[in-house]
A and B are shown apart, each in its own frame.
Chain A
Amino acid sequence: MTVFRRVALITGASRGLGYTLAEFLARQGWALIVTARDDGALRAARERLQVTGALIDAVQGDVTDDRHRRALVEVAKRLGRLDLLVNNASELGASPLPPLGEYPLDVLRRVLEVNVVAPLALIQSCLPLLKASRGLVVNISSDAARGGYPGWGAYGCSKAALDLASKTLANELREAGVGVVAVDPGDLRTNMQQDAYPGQDISDRPLPEVTLPFWAWLEGQDPIRITGQRFEAQAAVWEVPV
């Protein structure tokens, strides 16, 4: 078994924010486990990531599928460590965004399953590796978790729940040396943003690369010093608790 210097597992990594972060880490020599539902998009992403020379394991699947999650953890075990787990895969829900008063409940259940239950399940399965590597969990959040914006209720509820899960996990895992943070990347020009506003021009939103300085900063932080924090990647200040 070869033990790699640093290993990250990123969900929803075939495009958008997940891909941008994956490429940034791959260029620095991280070994990556990347996953997404869309097989074609994931293959294309793997090919582009492999150009960096980094070790890339791409595993197609749905994060709500228990077997898929087990397959991801098996890869991490084979690589020998897990320094970073990024729960980025998210379900927007119905598009265009219906108000909560009329929200289809089966879709709401799916949103909660993908955005709350699956990330927690993946964290549970990865815990032994994360503890051994004194790693960091990043749960991707959204300003919708706090906004109360009309139409964003289902997605916002799920991200608010994920925020609280992050904060609670941080307190529960501090002793074990595992850090957990929530990161709101801010508005970005991604497929999800387009799905939220179908047919509208979203070219005023910045591309996901705008978050690279934040990820660079996060890499330099001790996971335990920042655990429990919620960061905004496009904010003016990224604060380390004094």
Chain B
Amino acid sequence: MNRAELTFEQPRGLFASVPPEIERGSRDQVRLLVTTPRGHVHARFADLPRFLSAGDLLVVNESAMLPASLSALGPSGPFTLNLSTRYAADLWLAEPRWDPARPGPMPIHPGDEALVAGMTVRFVAAYPGIPRLWFVRPDGPLEAILDREGSPIHYGYVPKVWPLEAYQSLFSRVPGSAEMPSAARPITPEIRRDLEDAGIRFAGIVLHSGVSSLEIEADTVERQAVYPEPFEVAEATARLVNRTRARGHRVLAVGTTVVRALESAWTPEGLRARQGFTRLFVHPGTSVRAVDGLLTGFHDPVTSHLAMLASLLGLPRVMEAYREAVANGYRWHEFGDSHLILRT
């Protein structure tokens, strides 16, 4: 797949920068675009139960967001150090940025050191193929200072830093994500109850999301370097997924992170419990076997997320949905509107 196939015109006015509960009183006050092989339906998020059936299984990501953005002082002055993924107690993958709104790559060399909340952090090596990300070694436990010194990672389109709670969902349980797995954000306790009353079940996985990937740079989408993320699919979830499919019901991933985790745990015999790091890149050249649909937000042009959407429903239908979303003023990013993609 050529990268140009994943482009679309995205008006900047469609970036949501304020949580809907602040603007409109409740997290579920967002719109829902439903895309199926038959076309597109415009709805409100609270209508979600209407599009699902008794027996369907919603799989959610239980990873909670860390306040992973830190102020740092390097040889060339102050900068922002966004932690992405914990590899070991003293080894993290991180993204140094000029400031929240200005990405790197910064002029950093292996061995350079920076001060972060009284600790010395050494740049060890750039991530192969993704030079804006670095392996860093702190001389103490970084986790211990995050609650005090860290803030949620935020970018230029969000002028104000919202409290960490704004970035957690009803299902956030295990801290570890650098960025919000945001697809479940609009699910309020009331909506969860409505879904359960309609016979729809929930199961959880954990996948700690790293910093957002930027535009795919490789001309051929499949050649893009992608970095791994820690994940865990527990035995109980694997059983529920297998049973749901055996009974002819649908397994729906709540978020692209869930697709990545479930597909990483897929075997020819069905899903099995699995944990580790996954850098599985789901794109139209791979086959999606564990999920029948995806509830997600709206993604930026030329990103790996769009390639994943195309693997679910084919690229023409996805690009048609995005034209539909732009024409109707749907909003992008973690505080924005929702998109339900059903393969059948």
- A-to-B contact residues, CB < 8 Å: 23-24, 27-29, 51-53, 206-207, 209-210, 212-213, 216-217, 219-220, 236-240, 242
Contacts and interface: CB of A to CB of B under 8 A. Distances in A.
B119 interface: no
The 5 closest A-B pairs by CB, nearest first: A220-B88, A239-B276, A236-B280, A216-B87, A27-B124
Indicate the size class of the contact surface on chain B: 20 to 34
17 contacts: A24-B135, A27-B111, A27-B122, A29-B137, A53-B111, A209-B128, A210-B128, A212-B125, A212-B128, A212-B135, A213-B227, A213-B279, A217-B87, A237-B280, A238-B228, A240-B276, A242-B274
B228 A217 contact: yes
Given A27-B124, A216-B87, A236 B264 contact: yes
Given A237-B264, A242-B235, A213 B228 contact: yes
Given A209-B125, A210-B128, A238-B228, A216 B276 contact: no
Given A237-B280, A240-B275, A242-B275, A219 B111 contact: no
B170 interface: no
A238 B128 CA distance: 17
A216 B135 contact: yes
Contacts of A206: 128
Interface string B289-317: 00000000000000000000000000000
A24 B127 CA distance: 11
B54 interface: no
Which of A219, A220, A238: most chain B Cβ within 10 A?
A220
B274 A28 contact: no
Contacts of B228: 213, 217, 238
Contacts of A236: 264, 278-281
A51 B122 CA distance: 14
Contact of A237 (B89, B129, B135, B277): B277
Interface string B120-164: 001011011100000101000000000000000000000000000
A216 B92 CA distance: 9
A237 B276 contact: yes
Which of A28, A52, A213, A237: most chain B Cβ within 10 A?
A213
Contacts of B89: 220
A175 to B, nearest CB: 24
Interface string B74-98: 0000000000001111110100000
A220 B91 contact: yes
B106 interface: no
B128 A242 contact: no
B273 interface: yes
A23 B125 CA distance: 9
A41 B228 CA distance: 33
B344 to A, nearest CB: 26
Contacts of B124: 24, 27-28
Interface string B225-242: 001100000010000000
Contacts of B264: 236-237
Given A28-B91, A52-B111, A238 B125 contact: no
B329 interface: no
B338 to A, nearest CB: 28
Nearest to A51: B111
Contacts of B128: 206-207, 209-210, 212-213
Given A27-B125, A28-B124, A236-B278, A216 B273 contact: no
B313 to A, nearest CB: 22
A24 B126 CA distance: 10
Which of B86, B87, B93: most chain A Cβ within 10 A?
B87
B273 A24 contact: no
A24 B275 contact: no
Contacts of B277: 217, 237-238
Contacts of A209: 125, 128
Given A210-B128, A237-B276, 17 more contacts: A24-B125, A27-B111, A28-B91, A52-B110, A53-B111, A213-B127, A217-B228, A219-B91, A220-B86, A236-B280, A237-B274, A237-B277, A237-B278, A237-B280, A238-B276, A238-B277, A238-B278
A27 B279 contact: no
Contacts of A220: 86-89, 91
Contact of B137 (A28, A53, A238, A240): A28
A217 B86 CA distance: 9
B339 to A, nearest CB: 26
